[in-house]
Amino acid sequence: MIFGDAFVEHGFTPNYGKVTPSDRPDLSQFQCNGALAAAKQIGHNPRALAERIVQRVAHNNIFEEVSIAGPGFINIKLADDYLVQYVMRMVEDKKLGCPTVVEPQTIVVDYGGANIAKPLHVGHLRSAIIGECLKRLARFIGHTVVGDIHLGDWGLQMGMIISELERRQPDLPYFDPMVTGPYPQEPPFTISDLEEIYPAVSQRAKTDDQILEAARQATFELQKGRKGYQALWQHIYNVSVVDLRSDYDRLNIHFDLWLGESDTQPLIEEMLEQLQSAGFATESEGALVIGVTETGDTKELPPLILRKSDGAILYGTTDLATIMQRVQDYSPNLILYVVDKRQADHFEQVFRSAYKTKIAPETLTMEHIGFGTMNGPDGRPFKTRSGGVMKLKDLITMITDKAMERVKNSELASAEPEQLVAMAQQIGVATLKFADLMNHRLKDYQFDLERFSVFEGCTGPYHLYMAVRINSLLEKAETRGLCTGGDLLPPSSEDEQQILLRLVEFPDVILAAFEQRALNYLCDYLYKLASAYSRFYHNHRILTETDLSRQASWLQLSQAVLVVLRQSLAILGIEVPKRM
């Protein structure tokens, strides 16, 4: 704000006063380049404007030096006393210096996208990981956030399972139209049965028209309210959700809502009637559609199909009804859809339709948070050794087993078995999540288990190890009766100063990560902070330091780093083990 206010006083907007870490750490700690852009706007000399800005701010005692380089770059060096005071205030604040948003929003995060009766596979991973982190990040800075898994539970796959069950077990009461209930409380299948049934019938339906037609008819009757089919659907839902929760829990991913397409069914018929009567939805070749093309489009965007000629509704229909439902239930200011970037056109159709029809009010912003694919070390989509799609539970087990190998080969091998299992689980999840989030979400990335499971470098286990190491240091200090709650002293070395500089960046990193919907900012920050502390740790004998005031300061600095590490990892959905 200091530089922003200086630019405002000279007739510019405060964004020109943006301060960022220096591109040349050998010259300065931070820099402000706004004078160049501001001067260009009005045709003035940028260095002259920079000089006026420096004159306005240089007297502030938080700066040790403010200087100008080149045509108008402003170089900034903070005073050591200010750095120390800021970090002390920061660690005493539960938000670690991050200002709570002035106008908190109600945000719905739509992520996960699991399908009923189908096992989660690696294709579901990125939506879940990124969505969970965005939810945690938004809450941390003060927004009210609702996380919704948005289950796929009402489409043709339901009809396929029901019709296949009828072919295999025709005597079940669900298929007798004369029986209207009550139906058995126990399901006639297990999750393993469902995982075998769906792919089998789906494959057969590709070449057998009768199988496909039976599935379509079952879907139609389910959606029209046939009692037996609805009871069977409820069994499918219940069995599936238990399995889904288990997989997500292992990843430390949790949803506030377990709603799906089926929950919008009471709204759909009335919604379609209203859209038709208002002239928004029209008939086209027997289908009901909404035109979404706008003036200025560089490519033609097909209309959103609400109902096919055979009466079936599509994803776009339920997506619109879901927006209507969310507006009614939560009045959100923002909805984030964390879905594969290849669905960009679909969401453009849905968003345009929602605004055009007033289903989405002008006060609601909707964003498609697209992401790339997770590939194997060979750069191709991640597969099993046999070439099939890998189930998510199998991937989690594979990564956890790798973590267990490393733990058993370490000094922790003597721990209790249950402790080893918990530790391997936490390390495995950290491996998986950090490998994903360290990349910008729009990029495809290669997951190499050998590379990302090591305890050094930019990996999840490395950051866990650093947090555990600092915690162990502080426990040893407390056991020896050393002062762990002293004041920070001005830095006595470059290592200390670098840690202080990293710590003060935390609030800006958090805000930038949320504003850009990019968790890689936080991952990059974590690695720089952990690396800075590692250098400090190796160059300073903290526990044997004879200057007790300096030792207390170092322990306080270590505590500050640990607090920031823990909070950052918590936002990423990564738990820190007690030992490692």
Question: Which sign does the torsion angle of CA 362, 112, 235, 310 carry?
Answer: positive
Ordered DSSP codes for 72-84? TEEEEEE-HHHHH
Q: What's the whole-model pTM score?
A: 0.92
Q: Averaged over 285-297, what is the pLDDT? A: 91
Indicate whether 140 pLDDT > 70: yes
Q: Averaged over 287-302, what is the pLDDT? A: 90
Closest-CA residue to 372 (of 344, 341, 346): 341
Indicate whether 416 pLDDT > 80: no
The type of residue at 345 is D
Q: Averaged over 103-119, what is the pLDDT? A: 94
Token pair, residue 300, equals 């033609």
CATH architecture under which domain 399-571 falls: Orthogonal Bundle (1.10)
Indicate whether 25 pLDDT > 90: no
Mean pLDDT of all residues belonging to the chain: 93
Ordered DSSP codes for 317-338? HHHHHHHHHHHHHH--SEEEEE
537's enclosing H/E stretch is helix 520-539
Closest-CA residue to 237 (of 175, 161, 153, 307): 153
Indicate whether 44 pLDDT > 90: no
Closest-CA residue to 350 (of 329, 311, 324, 312): 324
Token pair, residue 210, equals 């009768």
- Please write the tens of the pLDDT for every residue from 157-212: 999 999 999 999 999 999 998 998 899 999 999 999 999 999 999 999 999 999 99
Indicate whether 517 pLDDT > 70: yes
**Token pair 């709650």: residue:** 485
Beta strand spans in 52-131 (E):
63-69, 73-78, 106-110
pLDDT score recorded for residue 96? 96
Question: Which sign does the torsion angle of CA 164, 166, 172, 178 carry?
Answer: positive
> 412 or 13: whose pLDDT is higher?
13
The domain ranges of the chain are: 2-78, 159-250, 399-571
pLDDT score recorded for residue 418? 81
Q: Where residue 386 falls among pLDDT bands split at 50, 70, 90? A: low
Region for 143 from its dihedrals, namely left if φ exceeds 0, alpha if ψ lies in -120 to 50, beta otherwise: beta
The type of residue at 278 is A
pLDDT score recorded for residue 384? 67
Which residues, 6+ apart, have CB-to-CB distance to 168 below 8 Å? none
In the chain, what percentage of residues exceed pLDDT 90? 78
Q: Averaged over 424-438, what is the pLDDT? A: 95
Q: Averaged over 145-165, what is the pLDDT? A: 94
Phi, psi of 336 (to 5 degrees): -105, 125
Indicate whether 412 pLDDT > 70: no
Phi, psi of 272 (to 5 degrees): -65, -40
Distance of alpha carbon 326 from alpha carbon 342, whole angstroms: 24
- Please write the tens of the pLDDT for every residue from 63-78: 999 999 999 999 999 9
> In angstroms, what CA-CA distances link 40 with 31, 34, 60, 71, 279?
18, 10, 27, 12, 49
Indicate whether 380 pLDDT > 70: yes
30's enclosing H/E stretch is strand 30-32
Question: 392 near 125, Cβ under 8 Å?
Answer: yes
Q: How many CB atoms lie within 10 A of CB 515?
A: 10
Token pair, residue 399, equals 């990564």
Strands 445-446 and 287-290 come out as unpaired
Question: 164 near 201, Cβ under 8 Å?
Answer: yes
pLDDT score recorded for residue 528? 97
Question: 339 near 370, Cβ under 8 Å?
Answer: yes
pLDDT score recorded for residue 411? 64
Indicate whether 527 pLDDT > 80: yes
pLDDT score recorded for residue 486? 77
Indicate whether 381 pLDDT > 90: no
- Please write the tens of the pLDDT for every residue from 457-497: 999 999 999 999 999 999 999 999 998 777 899 999 999 99
Indicate whether 317 pLDDT > 70: yes
Closest-CA residue to 84 (of 577, 557, 454, 448): 557
Query: Taking the mean position of all CA atoms in its chain, how far away is CA 388?
Result: 27
Q: Averaged over 549-559, what is the pLDDT? A: 96
Distance of alpha carbon 107 from alpha carbon 263, whole angstroms: 20
Token pair, residue 19, equals 């301060």
The type of residue at 558 is S
Helix, strand, coil shares of the chain, percent, nearest 5, are: 55, 10, 35
Region for 550 from its dihedrals, namely left if φ exceeds 0, alpha if ψ lies in -120 to 50, beta otherwise: alpha
The partner residues of 260 in beta bridges, in order of sequence, read: 151
Three-class DSSP category at 566 = helix
Of 40-44, 67-71, 523-527, 573-577, minimum mean pLDDT range: 40-44
The partner residues of 391 in beta bridges, in order of sequence, read: 121
Q: Which CATH class is domain 2-78?
A: alpha beta
pLDDT score recorded for residue 43? 86
Which residues, 6+ apart, have CB-to-CB distance to 439 below 8 Å? 372, 445, 520
